[in-house]
Structure 1
Amino acid sequence: MASPSANTVALIITPQPIPASELSTLTTELVDLLGNLQAGTSLTSRQLSPTAIELHLTLQSCPSNLRECKTLTDTTPLKKFQAQHNLSALIIQPATLHAAHRTPGLIVFDMDSTLIQQEVIDELARRVGKYDQVSAITEAAMRGEAPYTDFAASLRARVGLLKGVPGDVWDGLKKDVITFTPGARELVKGLRQAGWKSAVLSGGFMPLAEWVQAELGLDFALANFLVEEEGLLTGELLEGKAIVDGAMKATVLNELAAKWSVEKESIVAVGDGSNDLLMMEEAGMGVAFNAKEKVQERAPVRLNAGAGGLREVFWVLGYSDDEIQELTK
């Protein structure tokens, strides 16, 4: 938890354990770069893990929200600091927001390349020999590139290429293709134990989203619906069902928060694509997880996780390894 007098919390995550001999140098350098430590106050630190440390400090000019914090971390000196030390993340946040993460809230995930390691629509396309075509559209859409800045248009273009895929394709994907991102089960289990609600909001498809929900024990799932006739996909989206694009994700996030009486400061959104940015902005903590560069540039917070995968989101929320072990045992 944040020091009672601190108004700012900085989190440093590194790919490798931080040697004790380097820790003091690293923290001193960061404080010097921030440059406005309030006179008469002291820096305190909290080691969350061998690769994650929190710094609690009182700044003369305290950032009031994540946008102001990101403006700070995106300054040239701090960008150089992150590159020089090969940081997985440098996350600065107001102490009040950090404290809010300790109140059980709502965490919402994207599915493809976030909770799972694949892009499902690409895997479906493999079944009809159209992987290259669909993947090219997927990549352009994820980067937010024209003419696929409109998610609905890009989705319809890709779904149209899936005509003729057998309707039982989902069973094969679940059995042989889909793999969960390292740390996904641990993160959801631990936060559930701590009292959090959880959801997956996906621009993918309901058969997989419902399966992911069941496998992980999520409280809610929403994705797109495909039309199937005579055992084959028609290449169409089900009429009357809203497309789950970025705007829909943000809307549903707010609806779930209202349903479960969760304050904005206690909402976390995790995703990797441009269609996750709106829900990241709506959340108290929006995390671009191993995201495309353009998404990282625009997201409130970026985390380039290592082998721990989604487990590292625990650190972003202020949980130490000892606390994580207790929650997930």
Structure 2
Amino acid sequence: MFIATLIAAERISSGDISAAEDALRARGIEAMGRSWIEEDVACDLLFSADPATAREALQGLVPGADLVVQGEAGRRKRLLVADMDSTMITVECIDELADYAGLKAEVAAVTERAMRGELDFETALRERVALLKGLDEAAVDRCHEERVRITPGAEALVRTMRREGGYCLLVSGGFSRFADRVAGAIGFDRAVSNALLFEQGRLSGVAEPIVGAKAKRDALVYAAASQGVKLSDVIAIGDGANDIPMLEAAGLGIAYHAKPKVAAAADARIDHGDLSALLFAQGYARNEWES
């Protein structure tokens, strides 16, 4: 059995669900029932075959609603692996850090290209850090306090999954001075990220090897093995091209407000809602969320 979950950023109606059932029927798929996870917000449609066709039929059908199509079995995942910048937090830390050096526009342009997959991530990171060489170490802490904001739904997602026995890993191509604090604030079990180097209180570089696309996937595979979790029981989320290998390795890879190349590679994408959509996708109603 398979489930197509429609998740509204604001509201979804019974008429919208009927339209979805009609769209499936037009493609030769008979919906075997509907079940509201949260009235007017998130609804499951159960069907027996052809999930790829179901996804094609329903993607973008309901304005303002996201879609997740997956197998019914193993819906509630045992391992979460999440990107940080523009996913678990609302900003790209390196771009905000560059603002303290008066270089935000220049650095942000490179970040955008790297996230789209137009540049090699590791090389682009080294080059961006080199532009910031000499930045006062105190600016890193100021940047965290003044700019870093947790994405809505992040804490509920992580804390609910951990309450249910899941393991949660934050894996970032960003920097540990941010990631370690973000992981602690949200409730992750562990964080993997890049270490900035300082000499006499000034930024001098970034430690090697760089945590890039391969390292993110490797971290997911290692976490699954160490926790005794099958890859099919992993949910991964990210927004940039360096997240694609880990999204592809996970049982359910989700692109979050992502670049087109990432959205195309993922099993599902969240374009409208916040991170609470991942709780609805796993069948958790609001009264089950850990606050």
Q: What TM-score bracket applies, with the shorter chain setting the length? A: over 0.9
Question: Are 1:29 and 2:22 counterparts?
Answer: yes
Uncovered stretches (5+) of structure 2, i.e. residues with no partner: none
- Structure 2 residue aligned with 1:73: 55
Shift of 1:152: 0.8
119, 126, 148: which is aligned to 2:92? 119
> Distance between the aligned counterparts of 1:88 and 1:246, measured in 2?
29
Q: What SS does the aligned partner of 1:269 have?
A: strand
> Distance between the aligned counterparts of 1:144 and 1:18, measured in 2?
34
Question: Are 1:93 and 2:70 counterparts?
Answer: yes
> Distance between the aligned counterparts of 2:34 and 2:162, measured in 1?
27
Q: How is 1:212-291 mapped onto 2 (pairs within 5 angstroms)? A: 212-234=182-204, 236-238=205-207, 241-291=208-258
> Distance between the aligned counterparts of 1:209 and 1:12, measured in 2?
31
CA contact (8 A) 2:29 2:54 kept: no
> Distance between the aligned counterparts of 1:170 and 1:89, measured in 2?
35
CA RMSD of aligned residues (A): 1.8
Shift of 1:72: 5.1
Q: What SS does the aligned partner of 1:296 have?
A: helix
Shift of 1:260: 0.8
Cα deviation 1:254-296 (Å, max 9, x = unaligned):
0011111111111111111111010001111100011122221
CA contact (8 A) 1:305 1:312 kept: no
- Structure 1 residue aligned with 2:265: 298
Equivalent pairs counted in the alignment come to: 290
CA contact (8 A) 2:172 2:179 kept: yes
Amino acid aligned to 1:108: V
TM-score (norm 2): 0.94
Q: How is 1:84-163 mapped onto 2 (pairs within 5 angstroms)? A: 84-95=61-72, 99-102=73-76, 105-145=78-118, 148=119, 150-163=120-133
Shift of 1:226: 1.5
Amino acid aligned to 2:288: E
CA contact (8 A) 1:226 1:233 kept: yes
TM-score (norm 1): 0.83
- Structure 1 residue aligned with 2:4: 10
- Structure 1 residue aligned with 2:147: 177
- Structure 2 residue aligned with 1:51: 41
CA contact (8 A) 1:280 1:286 kept: yes
Shift of 1:84: 4.7
The structure that has the greater radius of gyration is 1
Amino acid aligned to 2:138: D
- Structure 2 residue aligned with 1:66: none
Deviating runs (4+, > 3 A) in structure 1?
Answer: 81-84
- Structure 2 residue aligned with 1:188: 158
